[in-house]
Structure 1
Amino acid sequence: MEFDKEFLGKLFEQAMGSPRLCHNYDLRTSPDDTNQRMLNILLPGTEVPVHRHEDTTEIVICLCGKLDEVIYEEVVSYESSAIELPQSMDAWNVFRKVEYREVQRIRLNPADAKYGCQIPRGVWHTIEVIEPSVIFETKDGVYRQ
């Protein structure tokens, strides 16, 4: 299989027809493959929730386009409030509040010789697409939805 301009052009067409403005092309040889690898076609406006991979490092290589890989740290705070429990028992209920603070932004742009990055296991991250882009992404483990 060759990843040429014509092949990527077809993938861009599929991304343009998607409500999420992206398209994933699975490069695994079987659903049981223990290494996830894919081409992600991403258009400006694509939204990827802040997430992490608890069991694996992720490698991202930008084949074309421009995007930022954004790294976050998790900030946890607690709020408490009095609630009334059955049988007139009083107690304090503690609510956990989680926010994410940006700590690093890695620009991927092959035109500027900035080709890719490695995201360590367990690190919170997302992407911001600046111009139509194709990335090759790989991580260990069988794909789980």
Structure 2
Amino acid sequence: MLIDDKLLDEVAAKAKASERLRMNYNLHETLDAKAQRLLNALEPGTVLPIHRHPHTAETYMLLRGRIDVMFYDDTRREIQRFELDPRRGNYGVQIPKGQWHTLEVHESSVIFEVKDGPYTPLTPEDML
């Protein structure tokens, strides 16, 4: 499979049409896969709650667009912010296991996201 502009355009179009303003394109074969690899198309206005993954670190690599990724402490206080913009040489971020985080989308964007599997839905304890 080639990951090219055509594929990114297709996933981005689905994100624009989605009520959530985001769309995943899974590259892993099953939700039980040991590595969860996916494209995640994100549109400005999408809302991603502050959350954490207690069982895995997570890596974002921005393929197009511009986003900020924010880290928080247990009191919802922002403790770090990373601007990702490939045009400025800022390509990705490593999110440690258990780190509270979210993102803000400034323009139509697509990230390549990787985390350990299997897929585990967020629980109320893992959202601030």
Same fold (TM over 0.5): yes
Aligned to 1:32: 32
Any unmatched runs of 5+ in structure 1?
A: 76-99
Q: Secondary structure at the match of 1:74?
A: coil
Larger strand fraction of residues: 1
- List alignment gaps of at least 5 residues for structure 2: 122-128
Query: Match of 1:7, SS?
Result: helix
| Bigger-Rg structure (1/2) | 1
Provide the aligned C-alpha RMSD in A. 0.9
CA contact (8 A) 2:70 2:102 kept: yes
**How far off its partner does 1:12 sit?**
1.2
Equivalent of 1:117 in 93, 105, 113: 93
Letter in 1 for 2:46: T
Relative contact order (C-alpha < 8 Å, sep 6+): which is higher? 1
Q: Distance in 2 between matches of 1:53 and 1:32?
A: 16
Instruction: Write out the 4+ residue segments of structure 1 that deviate beyond 4 Å after TM superposition.
Output: none
Report Cα offsets for 1:55-80 as digits up to 9, x if no partner: 111111000100000000012xxxxx
Partner of 1:83: none
Write the distance in 2 (CA, Å) between the matches of 1:31 and 1:55: 15
Q: TM-score, normalising length from structure 1?
A: 0.81
SS at match of 1:114: coil
Is 2:110 the counterpart of 1:134?
A: yes
Pairing partner for 2:78 from 80, 87, 102: 102
Aligned residues: 121
Q: Partners in 2 of 1:30 and 1:53 — Cα distance?
A: 19
Percent identity of equivalent pairs: 46
